[in-house]
Amino acid sequence: MAKVPPMPLEEAQAHLLALASPLPVEHVDIEGAIGRYLAQPLLARRTQPAADLSAMDGYAVTAGDMAGPWHVVGESAAGHPFAGEVTSGQAVQVSTGALLPAGAAAVILQEDLARQDDRIMLTGDGPLPPHKHIRPCGLDFRKGSEVIAAGSLIGPADAALAIAAGHKHLPVCRKPRVAVIDSGDELASDPETCAPHQIPASNGAMLLAMARKLPVEAWRSGPVADTLDALIAAFDEAHHADVIVTSGGASAGEHDLIRPALEAWGASLDFWRVAIKPGKPILVARRKRRTGPQIVIGLPGNPVSSFVTAYHFMLPLLRRMLGARYVLPMQITTRLGAPIRANGGRREFVRGTWNGQSVVPQALQDSGALSALALSNVLIDRAAFAPAGAAGDEVRVFLLQNGGIA
């Protein structure tokens, strides 16, 4: 049987995302919806503003009487409108956000006027056009219009907009349940008592932190021993998870048992190996169950490989299940601040530090180098066989949540 070549990144991502759908919708209060994704288009239940308002402090007058002088007949303050109607030769003092009195069509700024008792007159450059300094009814939105698109991430401004549009609750998708499993005989659960032949089990905490950047219910277990029985038992304990993420054991070595353990557990392999560096031996499997399918993402054990593949696969999958409008990571164009070497035969994600103007590759690019990863806030996207680059050359980068970039 011919050996199947590794998948290109975008093909593998599309394959993974096609396995999942947004989870069932629930309605939560506005505060609880912040940081989650809107599951359905949000339509305004009211018009904003509901009537013409003054945009400045000043005096409201009629459209046909812009030269003055005027007789002040009352005041309209925010929350306390003027009860009568303005006629020619009259003015009503208005404050910012106050309801425009009936009959008024313009607001003259108080600094352009002189007042003596109840009489005001222009001191500025002359009459202003009608409707100046007025926020017309429906300026922001009208009842029935879409104010927030489905799949939008709800932030503070969106929360305020939803409330202004007349909503107390928002539809969002249920939070995915995510189980993170560390595996490997070489892993020490306690970093303070790590023997020379061991390494601290850091991947689980890293992946858990990445998952929890999204609104999920996530937990971790392990380290799990490199035996079929131990791995199957760990999968059994995660039977209620929507997504299981493993770290380690996804390659083809004698002690890489994730694939056979998944098959013994009842999962079927969907794809294995992606043409990227670091992170080639990623695998994706599925398991049918009565309550809905489970998706398993098997990540490499090297910490940088684990991070990069989680960034490109775990996080987009979770966003898909959360109903996000945009699920793939953001990429921007910048310039190199230092030379970069020619690339090999796989698409590579080079760790780098971006200062907002240019990016400098980290000197250390080993897939086990956590120090370089922690200093990086971008992944420089290098195509297969890309030539060497010089300072000033354009490059594409993916933004990370490391190195001070939120």
The full set of domain ranges for the chain reads 9-24+174-321, 25-47+140-173, 53-135, 331-399
Q: What are the pLDDT digits (tens) for 84-95?
A: 999 999 999 999
Judge whether residue 405 has pLDDT over 50: no
Rg (CA), the chain: 30
The CATH architecture that domain 9-24+174-321 belongs to is 3-Layer(aba) Sandwich (3.40)
- Per-residue pLDDT band for 201 (boundaries 50, 70, 90) equals confident
Q: What are the pLDDT digits (tens) for 271-289?
A: 999 999 999 999 999 999 8
Least confident stretch, 64-78, 124-138, 316-330, 388-402 = 124-138
Q: What are the pLDDT digits (tens) for 211-245?
A: 999 999 999 998 999 899 999 999 999 999 999 99
Identity at 271, one-letter amino acid code:
F
Class of domain 331-399: mainly beta
In the predicted model, what is the mean pLDDT of the chain? 92
Least confident stretch, 38-47, 182-191, 306-315 = 182-191
Judge whether residue 255 has pLDDT over 70: no
Give the domain 53-135 fold. Answer: Molybdopterin biosynthesis moeA protein; domain 3 (2.170.190)
Judge whether residue 404 has pLDDT over 50: no
CB–CB of 212/276 below 8 Å? Answer: no
- Per-residue pLDDT band for 152 (boundaries 50, 70, 90) equals very high
pLDDT at 249: 67
Task: Name the nearest CA neighbour of 111 among 96, 93, 123.
Answer: 123
Q: What is the mean pLDDT of residues 357-375?
A: 93
pLDDT at 186: 87
**Cβ–Cβ contacts within 10 Å for residue 239, how many?**
13
Strand ranges inside 211-260, DSSP E: 217-224, 243-247
- Cis-peptide, bond into residue 278, ω within 30° of zero: yes
Q: Is 150 exposed, middle or buried (0-12, 13-18, 19+ CB in 10 A)?
A: middle
* Residues 6+ away with beta carbon under 8 Å from 85: 101, 102, 103
pTM for the model stands at: 0.90
Least confident stretch, 117-121, 349-353, 382-386 = 117-121
**Alpha-carbon separation of residue 60 from 93, 99, 248, 341 (angstroms):** 6, 10, 71, 68
Percent with pLDDT over 70 in the chain: 95
Domain 25-47+140-173, CATH number (from 3.40.109.10, 3.90.105.10, 3.40.1160.10, 2.40.100.20):
3.90.105.10
* 398, β-bridge pairs: 331, 379
Judge whether residue 125 has pLDDT over 90: no
Distance CA(173)–CA(151), nearest Å, equals 10
- Per-residue pLDDT band for 406 (boundaries 50, 70, 90) equals very low
Judge whether residue 65 has pLDDT over 60: yes
- Per-residue pLDDT band for 101 (boundaries 50, 70, 90) equals very high
* 285, β-bridge pairs: 269, 296
* Residues 6+ away with beta carbon under 8 Å from 290: none
Judge whether residue 178 has pLDDT over 70: yes
